[in-house]
């Protein structure tokens, strides 16, 4: 007990120290030029990319989740694709000039971010959060999941070394080493922290939103996939099995339940089996359900991110060595059917419905049972069906004819590349976007007068007398000889303030 108590105190003190160091470094970094910022962020992205395989292996060894090479893919995505998506974004000084409306827009950093990261995707999430934070001239302190502390810390170390070699102030990015709940809470509440960026379980995200500071959080996903009679069934089956098997299903946008259109259901099942889907019988289904979920519906963390063979051994059943995912036939949604919940492991539900209207209803049931605002997948070639699902489903990203895992994060689609998928108000978040640099940067607007105040606005309040000689309207401003050179004014003001543009 004493040791735990001491660890809490060390964690809280470390949180304070790192937050203050990040604030001091961020104040220095505020004056960096765009070229300096980009050089630093590119160096960190390159270092993370070059170490993607090493970090993926570390994450797997430490957490026991997923597959090392799949984690390498996610690390490469977080380093290369995220950098490519933000490298041309202006984040310093004047970034937009609207001559027609006489408005100037200046980028302004948020300050210091507390970056809470999960055990399921630890290294890739650290890479992603560091890149978007520093690109916007913020500091960031990573609060990793305790079970992924070492791999998260090593990721941060590699990126900090590269960033500081490129000119980044020491302390701008850091990672907690003494990880406890009181320490993470102290970090989130600390005066030097300006924003919380939380990726992880529902409890952690709820805690982040309750601190009283600006917070961007994710929500749980229970993503259904509708396979329409108009779909390319062979491709749909290949996509679903590979996506569900990818890193043993620890990305929250992965497919959780298939809803098959009845005319193609048998063909879809046969094609999925060809790709490595093993159908559970009733007794096996019951054993897996008991393994995956506790009586209160909470997921068993020991079963997260495991192969079918590991799950089978844990559940006391036999499955073939070729099984890449386990599939259970379902006909209900709710607490009485545990496998209709989000399953962050290689287990998939399978429903059959008469048509897309019934499929739509089933999808909404599944989404409302644990994934509102998050994600869904549709396999169809009928544009009417695609648009109907897009209009009616209570989610903010639909991936069409692709993997749920890589589609929602922007790996196989043109959605913004991100490792934090916000679910909007439906999922308890303030945003409904794939989070990126724009969300961790404030915008300052300078607006010139374009219309005089209405005459009524200048009338005197009752009982107030006009001052002798007071004029009803101001003297007209002199008309400039030509267009105002706003850019020259901005340069002069920035020079006077000592700010590099």
State pLDDT tens for residues 71-117. Answer: 999 999 999 999 999 999 999 999 999 999 999 999 999 999 999 99
Q: Answer whether 7's CB lies under 8 Å from 149's CB.
A: no
> Residue ranges of the alpha helices (H) in 30-93?
34-50, 52-63, 68-76, 82-86
Superfamily of domain 7-218+436-442: Aldehyde Dehydrogenase; Chain A, domain 1 (3.40.605.10)
Q: Answer whether 241's CB lies under 8 Å from 452's CB.
A: no
Task: Give the per-residue pLDDT at 155.
Answer: 98
Residue 488 has pLDDT above 70, yes or no: no
Q: What is the mean pLDDT of residues 262-291?
A: 97
pLDDT digits (tens, 9 = 90+) for 112-155: 999 999 999 999 999 999 999 999 999 999 999 999 999 999 99
Of residues 493 and 445, more confidence is placed in: 445
Q: Answer whether 238's CB lies under 8 Å from 227's CB.
A: no
Where exactly does CATH 3.40.605.10 map onto the chain?
7-218+436-442
Q: Kindly indicate the confidence band of residue 447, based on its pLDDT and cuts at 50, 70 and 90.
A: very high
319-323, 351-355, 367-371: range with lowest mean pLDDT: 367-371
- Whether pTM > 0.85 for this model: the answer is yes
pLDDT digits (tens, 9 = 90+) for 456-479: 888 888 988 888 887 766 766 555
Looking at domain 224-410, does it have CATH number 3.40.309.10?
yes
Active-site position among 175, 248, 252, 360: 252
Provide the 8-state DSSP code for 459: S
Question: What is the rounded CA–CA span in Å between residue 471 and residue 475?
Answer: 9
Task: Give the per-residue pLDDT at 481.
Answer: 47
Residue 482 has pLDDT above 60, yes or no: no
pLDDT digits (tens, 9 = 90+) for 33-64: 999 999 999 999 999 999 999 999 999 999 99
Q: Kindly indicate the confidence band of residue 297, based on its pLDDT and cuts at 50, 70 and 90.
A: confident
Where exactly does CATH 3.40.309.10 map onto the chain?
224-410
Question: What is the rounded CA–CA span in Å between residue 168 and residue 162?
Answer: 9
The pairing of beta strand 395-400 with beta strand 441-447: unpaired
pLDDT digits (tens, 9 = 90+) for 149-170: 999 999 999 999 999 999 999 9
Residue 202 has pLDDT above 90, yes or no: no
Active site residue 248: no
Question: Among candidates 196, 125, 185, which has minimal Cα distance to 159?
Answer: 125
Q: Kindly indicate the confidence band of residue 445, based on its pLDDT and cuts at 50, 70 and 90.
A: very high
Task: Give the per-residue pLDDT at 497.
Answer: 53
Strand order of the β-sheet with 139-143 is 173-175, 139-143, 112-116, 195-198, 215-217
């Amino acid at each position: 007990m004493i040791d735990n108590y001491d660890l809490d105190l060390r964690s809280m003190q470390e949180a304070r120290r790192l937050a203050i160091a990040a604030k001091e470094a961020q104040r220095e970094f505020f004056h960096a030029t765009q070229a300096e910022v980009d050089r630093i962020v590119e160096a960190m992205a390159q270092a993370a990319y070059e170490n993607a395989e090493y970090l993926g292996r570390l994450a797997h060894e430490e957490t026991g989740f997923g597959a090392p090479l799949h984690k390498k893919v996610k690390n490469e995505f977080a380093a290369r694709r995220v950098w490519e998506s933000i490298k041309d974004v202006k984040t310093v000084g004047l970034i937009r000039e609207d001559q027609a409306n006489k408005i100037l827009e200046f980028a302004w950093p948020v300050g210091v971010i507390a970056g809470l990261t999960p055990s399921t995707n630890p290294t890739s999430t650290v890479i992603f959060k560091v890149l978007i934070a520093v690109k916007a001239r913020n500091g960031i302190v990573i609060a990793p999941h305790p079970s992924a502390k070492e791999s998260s810390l090593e990721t941060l170390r590699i990126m900090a070394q590269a960033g500081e070699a490129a000119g980044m102030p020491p302390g701008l990015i850091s990672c907690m080493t003494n990880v406890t709940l009181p320490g993470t809470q102290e970090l989130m509440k600390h005066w030097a922290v300006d924003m919380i960026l939380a990726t992880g379980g529902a409890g952690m995200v709820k805690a982040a939103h309750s601190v009283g500071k600006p917070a961007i959080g994710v929500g749980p996903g229970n993503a259904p996939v509708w396979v329409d009679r108009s779909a390319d069934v062979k491709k749909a089956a290949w996509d679903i099995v590979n996506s569900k098997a990818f890193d043993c299903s620890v990305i929250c946008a992965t497919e959780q339940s298939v809803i098959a259109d009845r005319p193609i259901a048998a063909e879809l099942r046969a094609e999925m089996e060809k790709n490595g889907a093993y159908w559970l019988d009733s007794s096996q289904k019951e054993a897996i359900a008991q393994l995956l979920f506790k009586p209160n519906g909470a997921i068993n963390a020991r079963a997260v991110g495991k192969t079918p063979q590991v799950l089978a051994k844990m559940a006391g059943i036999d499955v073939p060595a070729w099984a890449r995912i386990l599939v259970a036939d379902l006909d209900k949604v709710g607490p009485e059917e545990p496998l209709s919940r989000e399953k962050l492991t290689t287990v998939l539900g399978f429903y059959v419905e008469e048509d897309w209207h019934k499929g739509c209803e089933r999808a909404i049931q599944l989404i409302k049972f644990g994934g509102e605002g998050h994600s869904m997948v549709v396999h169809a070639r009928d544009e009417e069906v695609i648009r109907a699902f897009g209009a009616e489903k209570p989610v903010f990203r639909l991936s069409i004819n692709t993997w749920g895992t890589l589609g929602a994060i922007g790996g196989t689609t043109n959605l913004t590349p991100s490792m934090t998928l916000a679910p909007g108000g439906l999922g308890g978040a303030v945003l409904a976007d794939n989070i990126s640099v724009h969300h961790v940067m404030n915008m300052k607007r300078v607006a010139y007068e374009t219309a005089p105040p209405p005459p009524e606005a200048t009338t005197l309040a009752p009982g107030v007398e006009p001052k002798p000689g007071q004029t009803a309207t101001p003297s007209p401003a002199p008309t400039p000889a030509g267009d105002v050179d706003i850019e020259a004014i901005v340069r002069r003001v920035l020079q006077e303030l000592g700010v590099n543009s």
